[in-house]
Amino acid sequence: MQKLKLFYSDRSPYVRKVMVTLHEVKMSENVEIVSVRTNPLGVVGDLVDVSPLGKIPTLVLPDGATIFDSRVICSYLNSIGKSDLYLAKENLEWNIKTAEANFDGILDAALLMVYEHRYRQDKYQNVEWLENLWKKIERTLDFYNNRSSEILSGNLNMGQISLGCALGYLDYRHNNRNWRAKNQNLRDWFAEFSERLSMRNTIPRSE
Ligand SMILES: N[C@@H](CCC(=O)N[C@@H](CS)C(=O)NCC(=O)O)C(=O)O
């Protein structure tokens, strides 16, 4: 089988979702990794040639077709890997997709906070906006922490993968906010989920 090509960085939590999914659907061997350093102020030539937004993850199929973004790629891998990561057989597909969108929303807010710190001088930073981004994250964590969720307790699914990558990213980039303090159920869930080989193999290494 010809390999898929994945535009990749170990620092990207969206890429991590794809790497974890590849591992879980047993397709890691089918992918050629192309390491890139994207940033919102510049473009990576080879990447924008195939994916106009210039973001990662981007997956290129052997026939040259491009698949973007992480949610679409994971759904594609689930389909060709003949997996059931959306628990369609258990009629949980729309709950799982909504959970994945919520956890990706945590990532979107967390990444914007990183960009605000990284690309704007201190004196221009909008503290109110930063705090509101963090409140979105807190509300979403609180929502899932305080409801008994069939998504978190059931079979491996895309909601779990997305949550694992979101919590991993909070540890990586926003450790000072201590998300565990008010979310003990998620803390315990994450401690167990982090033991999966797919998670252990994808911990961000670079700064
Ligand atoms: N919705 C996208 C978000 C992807 C994304 O924002 N990736 C970041 C890296 S973590 C990126 O490539 N940023 C470069 C840019 O914004 O130009 C997904 O789920 O894959």
Cα-Cα-Cα-Cα torsion 73, 198, 170, 193, nearest 10 degrees, comes to 120
- CATH-assigned architecture of domain 88-200: Up-down Bundle (1.20)
CB 157 within 8 A of CB 89: no
Determine the pLDDT at residue 207: 73
Q: Is the CB of 202 under 6 A from ligand 1?
A: no
140-171 pLDDT, tens per residue? 999 999 987 889 999 999 999 999 999 999 99
Question: Does position 25 have pLDDT exceeding 80, yes or no?
Answer: yes
Q: Is the CB of 70 under 6 A from ligand 1?
A: yes
Percentage of the chain modeled with pLDDT above 90: 95
- Tell me how far the alpha carbon of residue 53 is from its chain's centroid: 17
Per DSSP, what are the bridge partners of residue 59?
Answer: 6, 67
- Whole-number Å distance between alpha carbons of 185 and 194: 14
Determine the pLDDT at residue 206: 73
Determine the pLDDT at residue 37: 95
CATH 3.40.30.10 domain extents, the chain: 4-80
Residue 12 CA: which ligand 1 atom is closest? Answer: 10
pLDDT category, 48, cuts 50, 70, 90? Answer: very high
Residue owning the nearest CA to atom 2 of ligand 1: 69
CATH 1.20.1050.10 domain extents, the chain: 88-200
Q: Is the CB of 51 under 6 A from ligand 1?
A: no
Q: What is the SS3 assignment for 63? A: coil
Q: Which CATH code is given to the segment(s) 4-80?
A: 3.40.30.10
pLDDT category, 190, cuts 50, 70, 90? Answer: very high
Question: Does position 113 have pLDDT exceeding 80, yes or no?
Answer: yes
- What DSSP string runs through 149-164? -HHHHSS--HHHHHHH
Residue 54 CA: which ligand 1 atom is closest? Answer: 17
